[in-house]
Every structure is written in structure tokens, then in C-alpha cells.
Amino acid sequence: MQYIKSPLSVCDQISLLKTRGLIIKDEEAAEHFFYNNNYYRFRGYTFPFQENENPTQPFIRQIHFEMILELYYFDSELRLLILKAIEKIELSLRAQIIYQYALGHQDSHWHLNSIHFKDKEKHKSTIKKICSETQKSSEGSIKYYYKTYTNPSEPPCWSSLEAITFGHLSNLFSNLNSTDPCKKAIATYFGLPATHILENWIHCLSNIRNICAHHSRLWNRTISPRIKIPLNTHNLFIKNKKIYTNKIYAVLCCIQYVLNTADSENEFKIQLKELLAKYPSVDIKSMGFPVNWEEELFWET
């Protein structure tokens, strides 16, 4: 099937939305918005209010442009809140991986040794990507290493693993031998009973971080991979574990749990509640929030 749709001017975009039932009282404000925000990014927030979530169908009830804007801006602020939290978690994870393995194996270049990894071919591929990123780095310590040393050919873990993406760090961690005491020590540090739980959380947070960094819709997104909710944890966690593990609420629980270790003075739960209070019209059920979630001791502020 050939794509035959023509591009629309801002005025045409507004007219199309109005013909489908969106109430736009201030067209000048709407024009200004669409000149500075992609129409198709905005459309992702209108689908839940259209018949069968079909963008070509009319709105199922009276919906004002400002109502969609509220959702749009809420999602933007939610992404910023989560991005800041994941930054703290990522830094803490990097530090723990580098510290536990370098000290535990008394090896500055342990990450280059395939003996520590389950899948040797995957390790080879990951290291190739790490080396590529490291060699492109403009960090002074890395440039100094290449200028000064020839063996090993790559910088030590405390330099090279700081230069890689969160995604590559996630791949590296998931491939580490699960029986290694160093890997178990990292999971224990973050209060988790098993390494595969931490692997899952890192993978998910890496994906969420990319969604946030690319300003994509997060509010009612179906999350992949599904969050694994541990039955028992070393620290206080949610009691109600019958939640949607592919919705953002599950991710928020994991973020708060890890942050309690990575930054014990964090205000994530306070800021989250303030954000939800700022936008009371947002349907938090679409985010996977269970009834009376705020009554959990875990979420008390």
C-alpha cells in the first residue's frame, strides 16, 4: 500500500483536529504551539480520547485542546523527573560495577577478560562497542592513557566504563556470570535478593532513559521489558505486588527503591506527588497506579 498523505500546514492541522471534534477556542495559541511542537508528537496524546484509539476517528466526548495540552506538559515534566532520577541511579550502578569487580578480581582491566562472562561472543561484541566509544572519547584521562600506555591497549575499567552508554553498561552487566560473588554483591548493595532482578531493572531503566532523552510519550506507554517484581527485598518495598508490570507505575516503584540506596536524601516521591497534584486531570490508571497506592508505607513522605 502506497503512502499518499500530503504534508499539512499548521492551519490545516488545526482544521483537521476541529473536524474530528477537538474544541479549540484560541486558534492563535494553538498555531503557536504547533509551530514549535510537532503535530504528530501531539497526536499521540489524543488517541485515548478517540474512538478505538484510532487517530482518524472522532473524539468520544467533548475534549478541549487545553486538556490535551495538560497531558502533554504533564508527560514532559514526568520525563524530566524520571531522567534526573535515572541519572543518579546510573552513576551509582557504574560505580558499584567498577568498584566490586576491580577490587574483587584485583584487575584494572577485568572487563576485557571473557572469563567473567556467560556468552563469549556477546562479550566480544560488547567490548568492540565499548572500545569504539572509548576511542572516540574526549575525556582527558582516556586521551592520556592512549598517549602514554600501549599494554593493555584499552584504558582501565574506571575510565572506559565511565565513557560508555547506559545501554552498553546494561548489556555488559546482564552477561556477567551470575555465580560471581561480585555480581551478587552489587545486587545485595541495592537491596535486591537476586542478580536477575537487577539485570531486568537496569535493562528497563536503560530503555526508559532513552524514551525520556528522545522526548517520547511516556504517560500511558506499555513498558518493555516487563518489570520483575521481587517477592522479598532487603529493604522496604511495595506490599501490593499485584500491579501491571508493563506500566510506568512499576518503573516508578523500582526507581524509588534503588534511589533509596543511591541517594538516601532523594526527594523523588515528594516531587512525584507534587507533579500528580499539579495535574489532577491526568488518568493515573493508564499509568498502572493501583487504588490507594499512596497509602503504601513505601510511598509515605
Q: Where do the structural domains in the chain lie, given as residue ranges?
A: 10-61, 73-299
- Residues in a beta bridge with 22: 63
13-35 pLDDT tens trace: 999 999 999 999 999 999 999 99
Residues 6+ positions from 192 with CB-CB distance below 8 Å: 198, 201, 230, 233, 234
Q: Is the pLDDT of residue 52 over 80?
A: no
100-111 pLDDT tens trace: 999 999 999 999
Asked if 71 and 219 touch (Cβ cutoff 8 Å), the reply is yes
161-185 pLDDT tens trace: 999 999 999 999 999 999 999 999 9
d(CA 92, CA 78): 22
Residue 68: the pLDDT is 95
Q: What is the mean pLDDT of residues 154-164?
A: 93
Band of pLDDT at residue 271, cut at 50, 70 and 90: very high
224-237 pLDDT tens trace: 999 999 999 999 99
Q: What is the mean pLDDT of residues 37-64?
A: 88
Residue 73: the pLDDT is 97
Evaluate if pTM is beyond 0.75.
yes
